[in-house]
Amino acid sequence: MKVLNDLLKYQNLKIYQDPECFVFSLDSILLPNFVTIRKNTKRILDICTGTAPIPLILSRKTKASIIGVEIQKNIADLAEESIKINGLDDQIKIINADIKTYQTEEKFDLITCNPPYFKVTSLKNLNENQAKSIARHEITIDLETIIKISSKLLNDQGIFGLVHRPSRLIEIVNLCEKYNLEIKKIQFVYPRINEEANIVLIEAIKNGKSQLKVLEPIITYDGLEYTNQIKKYFE
């Protein structure tokens, strides 16, 4: 079932989604608003692009060329339709491929990724809907592979932006160090005041110098409403 929606409250941005598969969440709004986009950023890669919410938002922040790679054909097709209806064919290209076997001679200035969060510990934990399982669990790709590939495809001093769960932060730090990605800034996201963080945003630089900033926390909700911190992303 294909539906066309506004991309949250972004004006003049539409996105095709299939609620029976998987729809994007706030994570995909936070990451493109968190990651640093330099003036000399020319090429961007979004891994696990889904229906392309991250490339769409990035297109409002930069004129750089953007490639989104998505392994599931039906999801990649929706992303392609979203790009066309927004008139962004000249800036954003969607590739239906497994990033593990994706062949390119290009190097990128910025790589973003909103990956599957959960390890596959038991088949019982998987959703019966295959598309949702692939989006949520590390069935087709795992965290180490994402970080390894990102390091390989980045230019020297290129930026890697990742959104994930705080429970896997130590693993992320260790893997970034293993593949020469120096973490430069971290930001935790909390559903509400006095609740535990449920999202962590991470930015690393390939072969960067050691210097870490922990940014002020983001609080998502004030009661049932988004906080002003979140609402600013929709302006």
Q: What is the pLDDT of residues 14-67, one digit of tens each?
A: 888 888 777 778 999 999 999 999 999 999 999 999 999 999 999 999 999 999
- Which tokens hold the place of 68? 């989104």
Question: In 10 A of CB 3, how many CB atoms?
Answer: 12
Res 76: pLDDT: 95
* pLDDT value for 13: 87
Write down the pTM of the prediction.
Answer: 0.90
Q: How far apart are CA 53 and CA 69, in angstroms?
A: 12
| Tally of residues, the chain | 235
Contact of 92 with 55, CB cutoff 8 Å: yes
What's the CA angle centered on 99, arms 143 and 146, to 5 degrees?
A: 20
pLDDT digits (tens, 9 = 90+) for 96-119: 999 999 988 899 999 999 998 666
Per-residue pLDDT reduced to its tens digit, 143-156 = 999 999 999 999 99
